[in-house]
Amino acid sequence: MTDIHKPAERRRLSMVDVAAHAGVSVGTVSNVLNRPELVAKPTLRRVRASIKALGFVPNAPARQLRGGASRSVGVMVRDIGNPFFTEVLPGIETRLSQEELLLVLCSSSDSVEKEAYYLQILEQHRVPGILITPAGDDISHLVELRRRGIGMVLLDRPGADSQLCAVAVDNVRGGELAGAHLLSLGHRRIGFLNGPSIVRQCADRRKGLDNAVRAAGLDPGEVVTEVTLPALTPREGEAALERLSLRGGPTALFCVNDTVALGALRGLEQRGVGVPHDMAVMGYDDVEFAAALSPSLTSIRQPKHQLGHAAAELLLTDSRGDAGHWHQEIVFQPELIIRASTGASLSRPGR
């Protein structure tokens, strides 16, 4: 007969209480929880009954204090609002939940300081690993964390020369695909709505675009007009149009991601600029909604779910500290998805 008289017990139950209730030692209770095969059947039953009767819930921090690393991994993104991350997250979550790992989500909001702050907290929590899309260009602090024993995998960012594992999509190649596509349609003046060039992905896509222009025997300086947005949101995408002379300016717009393209599309419609006739537009990422936009958006597809899954996988091996594992880099290839917004069957851009 378990009978709780106290209306609201102050102290939470511990294994000591369970042990007393079941008439065994704490060591045995611990064994029931962690190595039940060592415990005799009847004892097992009895202890389990006590646990249930008392409503005992093990204390994870205490466990961890003794045991070592935590069961949560950190995932740091630059902006949770970005649908790209939303589509990568399920891939990560799927893999982590298989390992019964908790996912601690941090958003650096593109601030190096906030990133540093969160990293510090994660280290204090003794997480076994961190999956991160760094806010800044310098990743030496990440290498340092890795050296201190925290698994570290760069997400959507090449590890390059550094000692870090990385999972990325080839952004230079993506930029090339986009550039080549627009050039093949006859465009010779391309507006590039880009993010800040300290963001690696942005810089790489620009590089790819330039490569494509040069490959066509043209001068990037002549062909490409870049507008740098402070943030990759629809609002900024729309606002960026102001800084671009629409008439007599570019005949095509390459947006550094679909979110920006969405804003651009909205803005162009308001200004009565027809897409793709007056202006071709393409995005990047091929997020879920790209195909359903008006007009449907040509984009560069990234295997987002796979990206997340592979990153999680790599993090698992990295944080296990498997011998024989040094840094590894997985690079996925982007894919050009042609849709209406670039009017692929266009003879020559108007005017």
Instruction: Out of 54, 103, 231, 344, name the contact with a second copy by CB under 8 A.
Output: 103
Query: Least separation, in Å, of the C-beta of 76 and DNA?
Result: 23
Q: Does 28 bind DNA (CB under 7 A)?
A: yes
Nearby residues of 31 by Cβ (< 8 Å), 6 or more positions away: 38, 39
Q: Does 62 bind DNA (CB under 7 A)?
A: yes
**Binding at 70: pick from DNA, a second copy, none (beta carbon under 5-8 Å per type):** a second copy
**Binding at 120: pick from a second copy, DNA, none (beta carbon under 5-8 Å per type):** a second copy
**Binding at 106: pick from a second copy, DNA, none (beta carbon under 5-8 Å per type):** a second copy
Query: Least separation, in Å, of the C-beta of 99 and a second copy?
Result: 13
Q: Which of helix, strand or coil describes residue 57?
A: coil
Query: Least separation, in Å, of the C-beta of 8 and DNA?
Result: 15
In this structure, the number of other CB atoms found within 10 A of the CB of residue 14 comes to: 14
Judged by CB, which is closer to DNA: 55, or 274? 55
**Binding at 39: pick from DNA, a second copy, none (beta carbon under 5-8 Å per type):** DNA
- The DSSP secondary-structure symbol of 249 reads S
Q: Which two tokens stand for residue 275?
A: 């897409």
Q: DSSP labels for 298-318?
A: BEEE--HHHHHHHHHHHHHHH
* The 190-194 sheet, strands edge to edge: 224-228, 190-194, 252-255, 280-282
Instruction: Out of 21, 30, 238, 343, name the contact with DNA by CB under 7 A.
Output: 30
Q: Does 39 bind DNA (CB under 7 A)?
A: yes
Cα separation, 192 vs 190, in Å, equals 6
Instruction: Out of 4, 52, 55, 67, name the contact with DNA by CB under 7 A.
Output: 67
**Binding at 351: pick from DNA, a second copy, none (beta carbon under 5-8 Å per type):** none
Interface characters, 59-98, with a second copy (x: CB under 8 A): xxxx-xx----xxx-------xx-x--xx-xx--x---x-
Cα separation, 301 vs 298, in Å, equals 9
Instruction: Out of 43, 197, 211, 328, name the contact with DNA by CB under 7 A.
Output: 43
User: Amino acid identity of 85?
Assistant: F
Query: Is 333 within 8 Å of 181 (Cβ atoms)?
Result: no
Distant-in-sequence contacts of 347-351, Cβ < 8 A, 24+ apart: 347/186, 348/186, 349/185, 349/186, 349/187, 349/251, 349/252, 349/280, 350/251, 350/277, 350/278, 351/251, 351/278
Interface characters, 131-170, with a second copy (x: CB under 8 A): -----------------x----------------------
Q: Does 345 bind a second copy (CB under 8 A)?
A: no
Per CB under 7 A, residues contacting DNA are: 11-12, 14-16, 23-31, 33-34, 38-43, 56-59, 62-63, 65-67
